[in-house]
Amino acid sequence: MTTTTWSRVGNPVLEMTLGLALLLVGLFRVLFPILGVTGPLPAMDTTRTVRIDATTRVPDAVAHGAVTLHGTSTAALTFAHPGVGDRLLLVLPALVGGLLLLQVFEILLRTARTFRDGDFFVPRNARRLGLVAALVLLIGVLTPALDVITTKFLVKGTPVASAVQSSYHLSMLPVVLAILIAAAAAAFRSGTRLRDDTDGLV
């Protein structure tokens, strides 16, 4: 296999970048939030942005024609002294998202390691990319769902419960990203088949 500038420089840089991303996500999205819930560290997040029912209509004098401005649809739900349960509910969506992201970077790092010997069009890498697509899709679907569920539990029994809306909003960016990665996985599978066809061709 010919050694290119990319394989000499690009591959180690890619592996280091993914390793660094893995470390940062592991620390800031998983470990520190867990320590914030269990006690050794102060709670990282005591506030949750929520949607509220109150809708303000701009006075007619200010509005132009039939155009109206709807405001105050979001609010910050803040806990002055959250207990362990509240702290867990507050970080759970981000924590689950962080764990999924950690898994994504770990798989990408394992995939990048196969670039060392230039042997990346292998069935295992196609499966890995498919798994990454599924994980990214989960980030887009599961995290907002957890946000809705945990918000319901957080406000349950409090005076603000009736004012807080619990509507599910899909995160479109991860969903679109998952579709793109799934397409890349399909291209990888085709590449694997092509490589199989040309393997042993002289």
Binding footprint of another protein on the chain (CB under 8 A): 193, 196, 198-202
Whole-Å CA distances, 49 to 22, 146, 151:
27, 13, 9
Q: Which is nearer to another protein, 172 or 202 (CB)?
A: 202
CB of 131 to another protein, least distance (A): 22
Q: Which is nearer to another protein, 59 or 200 (CB)?
A: 200
Backbone angles phi, psi at 19, to 5 degrees: -65, -40
CB of 3 to another protein, least distance (A): 15
Q: Which is nearer to another protein, 21 or 122 (CB)?
A: 122
State whether residue 183 is helix, strand or coil: helix
- The tokens describing 59, both together, are 């006075």
Q: What is the dihedral of CA 89, 91, 94, 99, to 10 degrees?
A: -100
Q: Which is nearer to another protein, 42 or 200 (CB)?
A: 200
Contacts of 184 (CB under 8 A, 6+ apart): 129, 133
Q: Which is nearer to another protein, 76 or 201 (CB)?
A: 201
- Give me the DSSP letters along 16-55: HHHHHHHHHHIIIIIIHHHHHHHSSS--S--EEEEEES--
CB of 125 to another protein, least distance (A): 17
CB of 192 to another protein, least distance (A): 10
Contacts of 195 (CB under 8 A, 6+ apart): 121, 122
